[in-house]
């Protein structure tokens, strides 16, 4: 499974802004914005369907902070299919 955590739109992302500035400076003035988040690869034992609801809970309670971040849980199989 993959979890992608991104800063909410309302939250300042100074890191993203610094990278955007660098990209513009390096010849890509088209870059309008960059937001930097986190990407987690998670291997689990057992049935994914059974694990998913609990993993989703942990996405909310541990892997992201809902005050400042959104998360997206992706199943690797779906992508391959």
Between 36 and 51, CB nearer to other proteins: 36
User: Minimum distance from CB of 47 to other proteins (Å)?
Assistant: 25
Which residues make up the interface to other proteins (CB under 8 A)?
A: 7, 10-12, 14-15, 18, 62-63, 65, 67-68
Cα 25–Cα 36–Cα 9 angle in degrees, nearest 5: 105
Between 49 and 62, CB nearer to other proteins: 62
Strand-pair partners of 7: 69
3-state secondary structure at position 4: strand
Between 60 and 78, CB nearer to other proteins: 60
Contact 42, 3 (CB under 8 A): yes
């Amino acid at each position: 499974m993959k979890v992608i955590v991104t800063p909410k739109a309302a939250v300042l992302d100074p890191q993203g802004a610094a990278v955007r500035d660098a990209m513009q400076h390096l010849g890509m003035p088209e870059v309008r914005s960059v937001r930097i988040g986190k990407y987690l690869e998670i291997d689990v034992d057992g049935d994914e369907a059974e694990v998913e609801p609990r993993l989703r809970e942990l996405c909310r309670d541990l892997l992201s902070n809902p005050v400042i971040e959104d998360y997206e849980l992706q199943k690797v199989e779906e992508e391959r299919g």
